[in-house]
């Protein structure tokens, strides 16, 4: 029977550390600030934004929410982003995805300053992750790595398989596992004999957005299974991409859904915002020392 990786408990632990960092920054005259932009009235996005605002309040981060109507023009949205780029009190900018269809996601992401791109979606930050010299990490993959690390799971030399190749999770997740000295395979819709590949995994990360996609026949006994999926069944209950009931008896560690990876995503967003604020504080310290 697998040991549960408790994302709620680990997230709470990290948020306590973040709150202490925020207090230290405030003592230096810098309060971390996060701006969240929501365009339209997507119910799931609205919930995410509320959760982010609550998490900011709990850790002492100042949050600003911009809830824009669905018919907001691209020019209006980009103007707001540029204004926030220039605001020294804002250290992180997040535009909630998905956007209404008339807005170009690529253009919006490229407009956010890389120094305030706390989602780590900007090409500059993506490139830094590739070479291992990064400022920010994408929140969900970073959350997965924190879960592994704080559960005492070492990736070194392990066969790591990532199912899913999205820009948000799959691709950066593979890079982070590689940086942690794992031997990494990325699977996708064109992978042949998928179950044979996933059964090789010592660490299996699943992010495909299909309920109960991974069953017991796809998991090696004793594997660490990380379920990034968040799907809603017909009865309204949340479930992951892994058939938990079938896989839990044969895995060594497994993340539940909900309560696994989910709480870590917002936590890593807070961590990125604090890191941006720390860089800002260092700049202010250097400027004040030159004045003296």
Question: What is the set of active-site residues?
Answer: 52, 96, 119
Q: What does DSSP assign to residue 213?
A: -
Instruction: For residue 177, give the nearest of 123, 132, 208, 136 by alpha carbon.
Output: 132
Burial class (CB in 10 A: 0-12, 13-18, 19+), 179: middle
Determine phi and psi for 203, rounding to 5 degrees: -130, 120
DSSP, collapsed to helix, strand or coil, labels residue 33 as: strand
Instruction: For residue 153, give the nearest of 192, 130, 180 by alpha carbon.
Output: 180
DSSP, collapsed to helix, strand or coil, labels residue 90 as: coil
Q: Torsion over CA of 104, 110, 111 and 112, rounded to 10 degrees? A: 120
Which H, E and C letters describe 158-194, residue by residue?
Answer: CEEEEECCCCCCHHHHHHHHHHCCCEEEEECCCCCCH
Determine phi and psi for 207, rounding to 5 degrees: -145, 75
């Amino acid at each position: 029977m697998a040991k549960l990786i408790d994302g709620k408990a680990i997230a709470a632990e990290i948020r306590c550390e973040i709150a202490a960092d925020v207090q230290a920054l405030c003592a230096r005259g810098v309060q971390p600030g996060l701006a969240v932009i929501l365009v339209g009235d997507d119910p799931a996005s609205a919930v995410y934004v509320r959760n982010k605002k609550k998490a900011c309040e709990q850790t002492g981060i100042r949050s600003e929410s911009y809830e824009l109507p669905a018919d907001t023009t691209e020019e209006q949205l980009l103007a707001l982003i540029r204004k926030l780029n220039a605001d020294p009190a804002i250290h992180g900018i997040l535009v909630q995805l998905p956007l209404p269809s008339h807005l170009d996601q690529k253009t919006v992401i490229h407009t956010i300053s890389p120094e305030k791109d706390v989602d780590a979606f900007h090409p500059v930050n993506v490139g830094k992750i590739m070479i291992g010299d990064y400022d920010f990490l994408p929140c969900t993959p970073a959350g997965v790595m924190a879960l592994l690390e704080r559960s005492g799971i070492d990736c070194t030399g392990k066969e790591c398989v990532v199912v899913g190749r999205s820009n948000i999770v799959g691709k950066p997740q593979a890079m982070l596992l590689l940086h942690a000295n794992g031997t990494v395979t990325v699977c996708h819709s064109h992978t042949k004999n998928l179950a044979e590949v996933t059964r090789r995994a010592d660490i299996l990360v699943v992010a495909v957005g299909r309920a109960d996609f991974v069953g017991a026949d796809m998991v090696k006994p004793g594997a660490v299974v990380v379920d990034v999926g968040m799907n809603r069944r017909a009865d309204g209950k949340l479930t992951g991409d892994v058939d938990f009931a079938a896989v839990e008896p044969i895995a060594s560690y497994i993340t539940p859904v909900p309560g696994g990876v989910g709480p870590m995503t917002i936590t890593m967003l807070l961590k990125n915002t604090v890191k941006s604020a720390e860089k800002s504080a260092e700049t202010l310290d250097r400027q004040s020392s030159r004045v003296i």
